Amino acid sequence: MTAPAWAHLPNAVHIDRVIASVKENPEKWSAAHTAAHTAAWNAAYTAARSEAWDAARSAARSAARTAAYTAAYTVAYTVAWGAIVALVAWDDCAYMLDMPEDALKVLRAVGSQPAVLLSVAAKVLRAENI
């Protein structure tokens, strides 16, 4: 199997983790989306997208779209894509995927865009590890 186009990125393993999760459980991503769909999430997504657009656009977007193509396609795709964009834009944010919700809440409150974009992914991935 050919390595994905993002294999060279520092957060490649985490991007793969998000894609695998949304493929297996798109309904969890849709359900968790409510917490993330705020003005802050949209602002963070826009900022991250502009930083990561060239690096991630074709490969990761295609993978996320394919992974999320279910009845919950639109919501799951949008949230998964936001997480992937954050992982591409900020090399040092993957640790947030393993943070407890209370810690992420603090980071979101102080305006951390990666925390906003990764919160749903962290929630879903925590639930899958139980």
The mean pLDDT value for 54-76 works out to 61
**Rounded Cα–Cα distance for residues 114 and 108 (Å):** 8
In this prediction, residue 57 carries a pLDDT of 61
In this prediction, residue 55 carries a pLDDT of 60
Alpha-helical regions (H) of the chain = 12-24, 26-36, 39-67, 73-89, 101-109, 113-128
In the chain, domain spans: 12-128
In this prediction, residue 38 carries a pLDDT of 62
Output the six-digit token pair for 53: 């657009």
In this prediction, residue 71 carries a pLDDT of 46
The mean pLDDT value for 15-37 works out to 81
Instruction: Name the band, by pLDDT with cuts 50, 70 and 90, for residue 116.
Output: very high
Distances (CA, A) of 34 to 16, 51, 76, 112: 23, 25, 11, 18
pLDDT digits (tens, 9 = 90+) for 91-112: 999 999 999 999 999 999 999 9
Taking the CA atoms of residue 43, residue 34, residue 101 and residue 29 in that order, the dihedral angle to the nearest 10 degrees is -100
Whether the CB-CB separation of 18 and 84 falls below 8 Å is answered with yes
